[in-house]
Amino acid sequence: MRRWLCGVALLAACGGDDGDWLVDPHVIVQGVGTNEQDCRTLICPHNENTELIEFDDALYLVHRTARSQVLGPNSSLRVSRSDDGGVTWDLLSIIEAPQPPGSVELPGDEGRDLRDPTFYVVDGKLTIKALTRLPVNSTRDSNVDTITVSMTSEDGGLTWGPFVPIAPVTWSFWRVEEHEGSYYSAAYEDGDLSVVLYTSPDGVTWTAGPEIYGIAEDTPLETELVFMPSGRMMALVRMDGTDDELLGDMGRLRTAVCWSEPPYSTFDCPQVLDGQRLDGPAHFWHDGRLFVLARKHLPEFDRKRTSLFEIGGELEGGPITITEHGELPSAGDTAYAGYADLDEDHGVVTWYSSDIPDDQSWVLAIFLPSDIWQATIDFGRL
Q: What is the pTM of this model?
A: 0.94
Question: Mind listing the pLDDT tens digit for each residue in 91-147?
Answer: 999 999 998 766 656 877 789 999 999 999 999 999 999 999 999 988 899 999 999
pLDDT of residue 107: 74
- Do the Cβ atoms of 70 and 57 come closer than 8 Å? no
Write down all domains in the chain, each with its CATH number in brackets.
46-165 (2.115.10.20)
Q: How far is CA 125 from each of CA 102, 165, 270, 341, rounded to the nearest angstrom?
A: 26, 18, 38, 20
pLDDT of residue 104: 56
- Do the Cβ atoms of 199 and 207 come closer than 8 Å? yes
pLDDT of residue 7: 32
- Do the Cβ atoms of 86 and 58 come closer than 8 Å? no
pLDDT of residue 15: 42
- Do the Cβ atoms of 61 and 50 come closer than 8 Å? yes
Judged by DSSP in three states, 112 sits in: coil
Question: Mind listing the pLDDT tens digit for each residue in 319-345?
Answer: 999 999 999 999 999 999 999 999 999
